[in-house]
Amino acid sequence: MNYKFSNRELILLKALTAIVLLFAVIYGTSYLSNEITKSKNSLFSEVNKFNETKQLLAQIKVLENNKNLEVSANDFLKNLSENNISFEQEGNSTVIPGLSKLDALEIMTNIDENNVAIESFTFSVEDSSSIILSINFDG
């Protein structure tokens, strides 16, 4: 049994084939476009993570370099003089009298940030508003 398609059936099959191919092409390009967009977003996410990590490493490197640089006692005392903070030398100790709580905290923060080489420090309170800071420097 050989069945021959009529001209109408052949035209219908050709049209149906063209429509199926058109839908396949549209679906394929849509799928490919979505995958490319996902890949691009994933790539941007990874690049942002890399840049954040790179920035953190740069900050760590700066902190490490700053930590290796020690400010000498003379430079620290010069800085105190420039900031109009009076101090006295008593033997191996440098005594800074008459500090407020905020001033004492600021000096200790400055010591920590500038990596000043100190051996020890002591706080003593004269009254509720006056603190004496005594610092022994290394060397």
Q: Is 137:80 a contact under the CB 8 Å cutoff?
A: no
SS3 assignment, position 91: coil
CB atoms within 10 A of CB 86: 10
Q: What is the pLDDT of residues 56-75, one digit of tens each?
A: 999 999 878 777 667 777 88
pTM as predicted: 0.49
pLDDT digits (tens, 9 = 90+) for 112-123: 877 777 888 888
76-95: pLDDT as tens digits = 888 888 888 888 888 778 88
Nearest 5 degrees, angle CA 34-CA 40-CA 46? 140
Nearest in space to 122 (alpha carbons), one of 89, 94, 81, 90: 94
Which residues, in sequence order, are CB contacts of 13 under 8 Å at separation 6+?
5
CA distance 133 to 138: 16
